[in-house]
């Protein structure tokens, strides 16, 4: 059996299923692959000023370059926001697993000393997000009830932890964070301006065996029950998702339960309405051609 490569997504589930032996008990031969980006932020900042670079590449471009695998290393399953996965599979880049999705806590946050107090105060101010990544879409979605489209100004600042650094340093007026980064920002004194939670979807590269995917999700389902019953027993595993520079600055025992995996279908209606939402806002130059049946493993 070929090794099944798993790329975690800031959640506890994969680490719980690993430490508790759930994946092995399901018959999965696997390896967890970490996120290279956690170690440093050099590629996302201007060395002269320390400010965020304008980075026009994100989760969608990773999938494009990897043919459905995410990051510099191959993965047999990975996760990103449902907008990016939706658009990628509509353009024949991998396929979405249609029997589960996830929900991530997120927020637009500012430093404690910021004069920004409410969403309307963000009009015309830069908000650090990742290009064509979850924070990009969810910031627009969260602010549309409060601001007109031309008042929402996004700063495309590379990877998530580089944007946390920039926000804490005051290099951007606000930033959108999710998962462990949200809990880190809370502990380090940042304030939430508005919730911006969003859905995640699972990307499957071509040729990944369906039986391995099913084993993987059975392990994840067992881990979700563990989190629901007693999350405190597993929060120490968040340390696997933190950059070294933050591990000694926060107490992971104070984090929330984080991302939740929902074992319900990502429906045809969800797929099609998301396509409309994306292209009504001109986030991509052109629409995909694949329909739900060919893009989603239902």
DSSP for 139-185 reads HHHHHTTTS-GGG-EEEEBSSHHHHHHHHHHTSSSEEEEETHHHHHH
Chain mean pLDDT for the chain: 93
- The four Cα atoms 268, 270, 276, 277 give a dihedral, to 10 degrees, of -170
Q: What value does the mean pLDDT take over residues 178-206?
A: 97
- Count of residues in the chain: 298
Q: What value does the mean pLDDT take over residues 162-174?
A: 93
> In the predicted model, is pLDDT for residue 277 greater than 80?
yes
Please state, for a pLDDT cut of 70, what percent of the chain lies above it.
Answer: 93
Residue 272 is predicted with a pLDDT of 97
> In the predicted model, is pLDDT for residue 209 greater than 60?
yes
Residue 39 is predicted with a pLDDT of 46
Domains of the chain: 4-297 (3.40.190.290)
pLDDT digits over 7-20, tens only? 999 999 999 999 99
User: Are the beta carbons of 76 and 205 closer than 8 angstroms?
Assistant: yes
Three-state DSSP state, 97: strand
Q: What value does the mean pLDDT take over residues 67-80?
A: 84
pLDDT category at 6 given cuts 50, 70, 90 is: very high
């Amino acid at each position: 059996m070929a090794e099944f490569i798993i790329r975690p997504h800031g959640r506890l589930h994969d680490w719980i299923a690993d430490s508790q032996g759930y994946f092995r008990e399901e018959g999965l031969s696997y390896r967890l692959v970490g996120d290279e980006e956690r170690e440093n932020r050099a590629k996302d900042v201007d060395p002269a000023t320390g400010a965020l670079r304008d980075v026009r590449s994100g989760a969608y471009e990773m999938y494009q370059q990897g043919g459905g695998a995410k990051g510099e290393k191959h993965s047999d399953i990975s996760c990103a926001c449902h907008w990016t996965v939706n658009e990628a599979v509509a353009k024949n880049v991998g396929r979405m697993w249609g029997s589960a999705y996830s929900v991530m806590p997120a927020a637009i946050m500012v430093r404690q000393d910021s004069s920004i107090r409410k969403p309307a105060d963000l009009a015309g101010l830069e908000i650090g997000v990742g290009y064509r990544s979850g924070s990009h879409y969810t910031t627009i979605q969260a602010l549309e009830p409060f601001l007109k489209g031309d008042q929402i100004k996004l700063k495309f600042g590379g990877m998530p932890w580089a944007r946390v650094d920039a926000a804490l340093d005051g290099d951007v007026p606000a930033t959108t964070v999710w998962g462990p980064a949200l809990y880190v920002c809370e502990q380090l004194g940042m304030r939430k301006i508005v919730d911006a939670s969003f859905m995640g979807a699972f990307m499957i590269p071509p040729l990944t065996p369906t039986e391995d995917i099913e084993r993987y999700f059975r392990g994840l389902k067992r881990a979700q029950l563990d989190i629901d019953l007693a999350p405190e027993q597993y929060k120490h595993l968040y340390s696997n998702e933190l950059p070294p520079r933050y591990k000694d600055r926060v107490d992971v025992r104070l984090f929330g339960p984080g991302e939740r995996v929902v074992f319900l279908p990502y429906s045809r209606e969800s797929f099609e309405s998301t396509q409309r939402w994306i292209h009504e806002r001109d986030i991509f130059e052109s629409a995909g051609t694949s329909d739900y049946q060919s893009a989603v493993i239902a």
